[in-house]
């Protein structure tokens, strides 16, 4: 009331209106700073509110439905709060609208995105109309491309047209022919794994933490295939290993940087004061020096120059195209990103699910034993085409969905037909998201979606589902995962080696089957995987 009287008096001064307020001059002098402060605070709040909500009406203008966003958190609060994996926020919205809409408008914090609910329309974006959606949102995770030069070498973190060249330089070293020639390297790593398991089981110590075992295997394969070096991760999996520790530190830094990026989406100007790099300088120096040392050894060893591996592929590219040292290290780290944690996650989850379902494990073992060659291995050609092995791996990567969603940036103006004659314009810079995890767990496509059931992929069913845009664990279209074939061969080689000689069983320390969670950005069942290995 005092403030109201004060304002009324001030407003009416020219009309000679006055009020009998004791000591009014002192009152007005004392209140004026407070009123100015309150006015400024109100102005700041209004500006912040306007900043956070100014484009909340953009989807109404386009005629798109969607959930009402929280002013600060948008529609996916877990991106900020970490209360649950972000994909579950997405899936709740997907489940609400999937029956009635092909696309909806959503907000990742304050950033608008078009969420594609219809897999057929997702195919249009990722494949048929790809030329209009060449940009990848993951490129925004890099704050300074000059400072983060090794991360910037990855086509996954690139949106401009240079991604084509970078991707081609990686993919040609991971072709089916190259992998077939390099298959002895993977067989050698499998033999080392078998030797370790035999030593453990002979000692009566057959209960093994299998997540660590999976990382040791993929780490060993990458050491041999990328640098031609023995990392000893399989010789002593239970002991500290500088190479494996650095790989783990490298990935953790990436996940922390991504987490920082998401948390600062509402306030992007704070990024210069937060973790700006995607790859840490410390691990960059380690892998750069490792590559330099490996190249020097390769140049001195005449016999190893004919070795078919990724390092020699890069040496050939260097001669043909003049790759710099940073180019080579960048391509190696790109391949490691595909072949380390994601491959290990698919590997140890397949072991985990098959331990919980011995009937499926027995069926897989029978297929493996029927196809062993005289040397005790399955040939590369057969490995790539064993139907039930395919089913088990595909069901695992469907269930956990390692990469749970894709986001593309519009690079040329275009339109989306959202049904019923409704066509919406898409402008350059608009973001379109595809909720892969939700497709993979939609009961209309996959009955009882959270159950492990390899038979759902009988008779090459996954090929039809891929064509329809329903099953895309590696993405699809021109930006499909560059290391897809390498990752699958890596996982399958290890599974064959284990199941041909061992029965993998649950034990007292085995965690139950639960919903996939995400302590990082890689989906999967949380906790350690203690499994018992019984030698056959």
**DSSP code string of 459-523:** GGHHHHHHHTTS--BTB-GGGS-TTHHHHHHHHHHHHHHHHTTEEEEE-TTPPPP---B-SSSS-
The reply to whether 96 falls in a domain is no
Structural domain that includes position 271: 162-401+441-535
What span, in angstroms and rounded, lies between the C-alpha atoms of 363 and 370?
11
Q: How far apart are CA 337 and CA 282, in angstroms?
A: 17
Q: How many domains does the chain have?
A: 2
| Sign of the torsion formed by the C-alpha atoms of 283, 288, 293 and 295 | positive
Residues 28 and 170 in one domain: no
CA 226, CA 215: separation in Å to the nearest integer? 16
Is residue 67 in a domain? no
In a domain, 418, yes or no: no
What span, in angstroms and rounded, lies between the C-alpha atoms of 394 and 409?
Answer: 28
Specify if 47 maps to a domain.
yes
DSSP element (H, E) containing 80: helix 78-81
pLDDT at 518 > cutoff 90: no
Residue where one domain finishes, among candidates 10, 31, 53: 53
Same-domain pairing of 235 and 379: yes
* Predicted local confidence at residue 27, as pLDDT: 55
Res. 433: pLDDT tops 90: yes
Q: What whole-number distance in Å separates Cα of residue 244 and Cα of residue 102?
A: 44
In a domain, 343, yes or no: yes
49/168 same-domain check = no
User: Is 329 buried (19+), middle (13-18) or exposed (0-12) by CB count in 10 A?
Assistant: buried
Domain boundary among 19, 37, 53: 53
Query: For residue 24, is pLDDT > 60?
Result: no
CATH of the domain at 313: 1.10.630.10
Co-location of 30 and 168 in the same domain: no
Confidence grade of residue 16 (pLDDT, cut at 50, 70, 90) = very low
Is residue 6 pLDDT above 50, yes or no?
no
**Structural domain ending residue among the three candidates 53, 72, 89:** 53
**Segment 172-231, tens digit of pLDDT:** 999 999 999 999 999 999 999 999 999 999 888 799 999 999 999 999 999 999 999 999
Query: Has residue 130 been placed in a domain?
Result: no
| pLDDT at 394 > cutoff 70 | yes
pLDDT tens column, 44-64: 877 777 766 777 778 988 889
pTM of the shown model: 0.89
Q: Decide: 476 and 366 in contact? Cβ < 8 Å.
A: no
Q: Position of tokens 């093994």?
A: 208
Query: In this model, does residue 15 exceed pLDDT 50?
Result: no
Distances in whole angstroms, Cα of residue 82 to Cα of each of 103, 245, 256, 267: 26, 26, 13, 17
pLDDT at 474: 92
From CA 6, how far away is CA 1, in angstroms rounded?
9
pLDDT at 204: 82
Domain-located, residue 102: no
CA atoms of 298 and 228, how far apart (whole Å): 8
The per-residue pLDDT for 410 is 94
pLDDT confidence of residue 4: 36
Q: Is 505 a domain residue?
A: yes
Give the pLDDT band of residue 520 (cuts 50, 70, 90). low
């Amino acid at each position: 009331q005092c403030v109201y009287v004060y304002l009324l008096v001030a407003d009416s001064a020219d009309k000679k209106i006055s009020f009998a307020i004791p000591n009014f001059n002192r009152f007005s002098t004392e209140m004026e700073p407070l009123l100015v402060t309150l006015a400024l605070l109100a102005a700041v709040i209004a500006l912040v509110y306007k900043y956070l909500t100014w484009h909340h009406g953009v989807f109404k203008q386009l005629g798109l439905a969607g959930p009402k966003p929280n002013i600060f958190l948008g529609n996916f609060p877990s991106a900020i709060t970490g209360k649950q994996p972000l994909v579950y926020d997405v899936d709740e919205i997907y489940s609400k609208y999937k029956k009635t809409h092909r696309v909806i408008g959503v907000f990742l914090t304050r950033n608008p995105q078009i969420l594609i609910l219809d897999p057929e329309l997702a195919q249009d974006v990722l494949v048929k109309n790809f030329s209009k959606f060449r940009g990848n949102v993951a490129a925004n995770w890099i704050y300074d491309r000059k400072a983060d030069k090794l991360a910037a070498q990855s086509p996954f973190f690139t949106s401009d047209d240079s991604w084509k060249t970078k991707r081609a330089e990686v993919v040609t070293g991971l072709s089916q022919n190259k992998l077939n020639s390099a298959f002895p390297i993977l067989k050698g790593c499998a033999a080392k794994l078998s030797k370790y398991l035999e030593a453990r089981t002979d000692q009566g110590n057959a209960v093994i933490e299998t997540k660590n075992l999976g990382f040791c295997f993929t780490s060993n394969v990458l050491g041999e295939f990328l640098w031609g070096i023995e990392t000893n991760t399989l010789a002593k999996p239970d002991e500290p290993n500088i190479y494996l520790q650095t790989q783990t530190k490298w990935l953790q830094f990436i996940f922390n940087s991504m987490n920082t990026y998401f948390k600062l989406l509402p306030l992007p100007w704070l990024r210069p004061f937060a973790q700006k790099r995607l790859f840490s300088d410390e691990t960059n120096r380690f892998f750069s020096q490792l590559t330099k040392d490996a190249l020097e050894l390769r140049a001195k060893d005449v016999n190893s120059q004919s070795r078919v591996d990724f390092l020699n592929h890069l040496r050939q590219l260097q001669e043909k195209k003049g790759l710099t040292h940073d180019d080579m290290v960048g391509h190696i780290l790109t391949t490691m990103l595909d072949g380390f944690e994601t491959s290990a996650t698919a590997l140890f989850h397949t072991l985990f699910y098959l331990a919980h379902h011995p009937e499926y494990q027995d069926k897989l073992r029978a297929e493996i034993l029927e196809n062993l060659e005289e040397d005790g291995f399955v040939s590369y050609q057969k490995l790539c085409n064993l139907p039930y092995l395919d089913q088990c791996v595909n069901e695992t990567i469907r269930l956990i969905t390692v990469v749970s969603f894709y986001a593309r940036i519009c690079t040329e103006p275009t339109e989306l037909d959202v049904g019923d004659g409704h066509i919406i314009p898409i402008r350059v810079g608009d973001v379109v998201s595809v909720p892969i995890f939700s497709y993979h767990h939609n009961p209309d496509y996959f009955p009882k979606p959270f159950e492990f059931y390899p038979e759902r992929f009988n008779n090459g069913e996954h090929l039809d589902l891929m064509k329809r845009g329903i099953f895309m664990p590696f993405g699809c279209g021109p930006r499909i995962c560059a290391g897809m074939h390498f990752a699958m061969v890596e996982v399958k080689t290890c599974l064959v080696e284990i199941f041909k000689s061992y029965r993998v069983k649950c034990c007292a320390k085995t965690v139950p089957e639960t919903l996939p969670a995400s302590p990082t950005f890689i989906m999967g069942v949380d906790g350690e995987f203690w499994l018992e290995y019984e030698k056959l």
